[in-house]
C-alpha cells in the first residue's frame, strides 16, 4: 500500500482527472480542496473516487449543525475522508464524527504556514485531545516542522497521521515518516512536474525504501 | 437601508431562490454557506446576487495560498462579501484582504456555539487585532452573547459588525443592535416561517424602530 497522498490543487477539472489517472498507481489517496471543488462542482469528488479514495480537505470550521450538513454532503459523494479544524471546540468536531459513517475524519493538529504559530500552535495539545476524545480517525501534522510532527506523534496514541508540506513547501518525505507520519501529502512537486506520473513514482519508491 | 441579513441555510436551489425573491424588499444582504453552495453549485452565488448582495460565509481557514484561491473564486462570482477565520493568523487573513478587490472581508471575532468558549474565546482580542491590522472591513460577533458583542464593539474601532444567532438560536435583534451590531443575521426564523416575507418584514420593522 502506498504512503503517498496527492494534493490535487489544480482548478481545472480536465487537468485534475488527467493527473489523477496518470499518478493513481503510486497513490494511497487523492486530497482535494475548495478551490477545485468550487471551480468544477462537488461532482468532481464522485468522479475522482472512481480512480482513488478522495479526502475532502475542507478545513471544516463551523457551528455543529453546519459541520453536520457539510459532512453529509461529503459522504453522499462517496468520499473516503474529510479534514476538519478542531479549534472550534469538541461539539463542532463531534458533529462531524457522529455523522461521518464510513468517512475517515482527520483533525488538523497543526498547520504548516507561518501564521499557524501565532495562535493555533498554542493549542495543538488541546486539539489532539479533542480529536481523540471525539473519536476522530486521524490527524494532520506538518512535515515542514518535523519536531512538532514528532511531538504530535507522541500524544496521538494510535491515530493515523497525514503530513502535508512535503516538496515545494520544504518538508522531506523521509523526515516526515521518521518523525511519525503514516502518510505524506505532496502537491506541487507532482502536479507541476513535467511528468507527474514519474514524479509520483519516485516519491512512492522513496517512501517504500524507508 | 435595511439592517437585516438573511442566512439562507437551505439546501435546495429552487427553495433558496424563492425565499430570496420574496424576502428581498426587507433585506440588506443574503448570507450563504457551504451546504447550499456544495448542494447547488457555486453559480447560486451569481444567481442570488441578481436579487441582493451575497455574503459567502465560507469560514475560510486555510494557508495563505488556498485562502487567496478561494477569495478569487468568490470574487469571480460577483459576491459582495466573504467571511473568514482569523485564528489561522495574520498571513492567512492578509491573503484574503489583498485579493478581495471590492469584496467586503468579515473576520469571525467570536462564534455563537458552546464549543467556541473552549479555545476561540481566549483569542477574540487577538483576532480583532489581526482583522484591524490586515485592513479587513468588518467582524462577525454573536448575538447570543450580547456582553461579548459589546466587548468586541469597544475594541473594533469603526469596523462594521454583523451579528448572527438572532431568532432560533436565542439572540434578540434589539439587544444585538444596542450592544453594538450594525446588522443582524437571521436564518431559521425567516426561512422556516410559513410566510418568510412576513417574518422578514416584521424583523426589518423592529430593526427600523430602534
Per CB-CB distance under 8 Å, the chain A contacts of B91 are 113-115
Secondary structure (3-state) at A61: coil
Q: Say what the pLDDT of residue B63 is.
A: 95
H or E element that contains A134? helix A124-134
- Residues near B5 by Cβ (< 8 Å), separated by ≥ 6? B27, B28, B29, B30, B31, B55, B162, B183, B184, B185, B186
CA angle B172, B30, B161 (to 5 degrees): 50
Quick check: A83 contacting B, CB < 8 Å?
no
Instruction: Kindly determine whether residue B63 and residue A11, on different chains, have CB atoms separated by under 8 Å.
Output: no
- Nearest residue of A to residue B65 by CA position? A113
Number of Cβ within 10 Å of residue A72's Cβ equals 18
Position B169 pLDDT exceeds 90: no
Contacts of A152 (CB under 8 A, 6+ apart): A109, A110, A124, A128, A139, A141, A161, A180
Per residue in B90-104, pLDDT (tens digit) is 999 999 999 999 999
Q: Which of A59, A154, A172, A183 is catalytic?
A: A59
- The DSSP element (H or E) to which B160 belongs, if any, is strand B160-166
A70 chain-B contacts, CB cut-off 8 A: 34-35, 38
Task: Say what the pLDDT of residue B1 is.
Answer: 86
- CA–CA separation, A194 and A156 (whole Å): 37
Calpha distance B129→A209 (Å, rounded): 47
Q: Half-sphere exposure (CA, 13 Å, Cβ side) for B83?
A: 27
Q: Which of A33, A91, A123 sits opposite B66 (nearest CB)?
A: A33
Whether B142 has a pLDDT exceeding 90, the answer reads yes
Q: A71 contacts in B (CB within 8 Å)?
A: none
Percent of chain B with pLDDT over 70: 100
The whole-number pLDDT of residue A169 equals: 82
Question: Could you tell me the pLDDT band of residue B70, with boundaries at 50, 70 and 90?
Answer: very high
The segments of chain A whose pLDDT lies below 50 read: none
At B110-131, the pLDDT tens digits run: 998 999 999 999 999 999 999 9
Q: Give B-chain residues touching A92 at CB under 8 angstroms.
A: 113, 115
User: What residues form DSSP beta bridges with B140?
Assistant: B108, B162
Q: If DSSP states are collapsed to H, E and C, what string results for B57-116?
A: EEEECCCHHHHHHHHHHHHHCCCCEEEEECCCCHHHHHHHHCCCCCCEEEEECCCCCHHH
Query: Buried b vs exposed e over A115-147: b needs ≥16 C-beta within 10 Å?
Result: bbebbbbebbebbbebbbebebbbbbbbbbbbe
Q: Closest Cα of chain A to B207: distance in Å?
A: 26
Contact B79, B51 (CB under 8 A): no
Smallest CA-to-CA distance from B133 within B100, B107, B103, B104 is with B107
Q: Which pLDDT value is given to residue B161?
A: 98
Residue A154 is a catalytic residue = no
Residue B175: band (very low, low, confident or very high) from pLDDT cuts 50, 70, 90: very high
* pLDDT at site A168: 83
DSSP B171: B
> Beta partners for A183?
A162
Nearest-Cα distance to chain A for B71, in Å, is 9
Predicted confidence at residue B69, as pLDDT, reads 97
Give the pLDDT mean for B4-30.
98
Sign of CA dihedral B77, B2, B108, A70: negative
Q: Of A37, A59, A113, which is closest to B64 when you measure between CB atoms?
A: A113
Domains and CATH numbers, chain A: 4-208 (3.20.20.70)
* Cell output for B108: 469571525
Tell the residue number behind the cell numbers 455523522, with chain if given.
A99
Interface test with A, best of B42, B98, B113 (most A CBs within 10 A): B113
Option in A11, A69, A123 nearest B35 (CB):
A69
Residue for grid cell 437571521: B186
Q: Which residues in chain A have Cβ-Cβ distances shorter than 8 Å to B68?
A: none
Which pLDDT value is given to residue B168? 83
Amino acid at each position: 500500500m502506498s504512503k503517498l497522498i496527492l494534493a490535487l490543487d489544480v482548478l481545472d477539472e480536465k487537468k485534475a482527472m488527467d493527473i489523477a489517472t496518470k499518478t493513481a498507481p503510486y497513490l494511497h489517496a487523492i486530497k482535494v480542496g475548495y478551490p477545485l471543488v468550487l471551480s468544477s462542482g462537488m461532482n468532481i469528488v464522485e468522479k475522482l473516487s472512481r480512480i482513488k479514495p478522495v479526502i475532502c480537505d475542507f478545513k471544516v470550521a463551523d457551528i455543529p449543525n453546519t459541520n453536520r450538513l457539510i459532512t453529509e454532503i461529503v459522504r453522499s459523494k462517496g468520499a473516503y475522508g474529510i479534514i476538519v479544524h478542531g479549534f472550534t471546540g469538541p461539539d463542532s468536531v463531534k458533529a462531524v464524527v457522529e455523522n461521518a459513517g464510513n468517512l475517515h475524519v482527520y483533525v488538523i493538529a497543526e498547520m504548516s504556514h507561518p501564521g499557524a504559530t501565532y495562535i493555533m500552535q498554542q493549542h495543538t495539545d488541546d486539539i489532539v485531545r479533542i480529536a481523540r476524545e471525539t473519536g476522530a480517525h486521524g490527524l494532520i501534522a506538518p512535515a515542514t516542522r518535523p519536531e512538532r510532527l514528532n511531538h504530535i506523534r507522541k500524544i496521538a496514541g494510535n491515530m493515523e497521521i497525514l503530513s502535508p508540506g512535503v516538496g515545494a513547501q520544504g518538508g522531506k518525505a523521509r523526515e516526515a515518516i521518521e518523525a511519525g507520519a503514516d502518510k505524506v501529502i505532496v502537491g506541487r512537486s507532482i502536479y507541476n512536474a513535467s511528468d507527474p506520473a514519474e514524479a509520483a513514482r519516485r516519491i512512492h519508491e522513496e517512501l517504500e525504501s524507508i
